[in-house]
Amino acid sequence: MRQVWYVLLKDLLIERRALGRVISLVSFAIMTLLLFSFAVGPQSELLRKHSPGYLWLGVLFSSTLLYTQSFQIETESNATEQLLVAPVSPISLFVGKALANTIQLFGIMLIMIPPLIALCDVTFTESFSLFLAVLFAGALGLSAPGAMYAAMTARLSSKALLMPLLLFPLIVPAMLAAVKITSLIFFGDPMNQITGWFQLLIVFDVIFWSVCSVLFSRVMEL
């Protein structure tokens, strides 16, 4: 657990010092929302109807940039090998980096909420705390395979292209559940579907984190 904590603090400290990268990720996420709103035009009802999809597509596109950057510094300085020699167990390295990605992605989501409300005229028919829980669960589901594929493609020159090609097909179930729950939170849940969809999202998170943590050690051997 101590190793996980140290890896988590290391990654968050790196991102804090590289403030320009954080600003670029946030700007990219907000720009994605703006592009969707410009594409739809001044049709407020249509914007509101598709706002859950716009939110999660913006999160998904931003996450690929975040995950690509997560191993960049360690790869350029061969720090990953030094961490493993230290020794830091591959599972601790994976969990620490995936948690750091989760926290950063969740922070990006929080910043996206005000622009989403302003552009799409979003209202919450369910509790806001439930919405935050869904955002965090969705960030967990994206960050586990994201960390694994980031390690797999870190040494490749075309990692920025390969990351979305590898990540997007895997996280489709989690994305569908997150979009559906968000839609129910925005527009109401007369049939009480949120509980079932949220449980499904949690199951996906558990599966992703379990499988990716086991496979990560094999990835680091490549």
**Mapped to the 3 state alphabet, what secondary structure does 42-81 carry?**
CCHHHHHHHHHHHHHHHHHHHHHHHHHHHCHHHHHCCHHH
Q: What CA–CA distance (Å, rounded) separates 207 from 144? A: 10
pLDDT for the residue 221: 65
- For the chain, the straight-line distance linking the first and the last C-alpha, in angstroms and rounded, comes to 25
pLDDT for the residue 80: 62
Amino acid at 222: L
Helices and strands (H and E) in the chain: how many: 10, 0
pLDDT for the residue 195: 92
pLDDT for the residue 128: 92
Helix (H) or strand (E) holding 138: helix 128-153
Which domain does 185 fall in, by range?
2-220
Q: What CA–CA distance (Å, rounded) separates 8 from 100? A: 5
Cβ atoms of residues 169 and 77 within 8 Å: no
pLDDT in tens, 72-112: 766 665 666 666 666 767 788 888 888 989 999 999 999 99
pLDDT-flagged residues of the chain (< 70): 18, 73-86, 88, 157, 159-160, 221-222
- Domains in the chain, number: 1
Amino acid at 142: L
pLDDT for the residue 12: 79
pLDDT for the residue 25: 84
Q: What CA–CA distance (Å, rounded) separates 220 from 222? A: 5
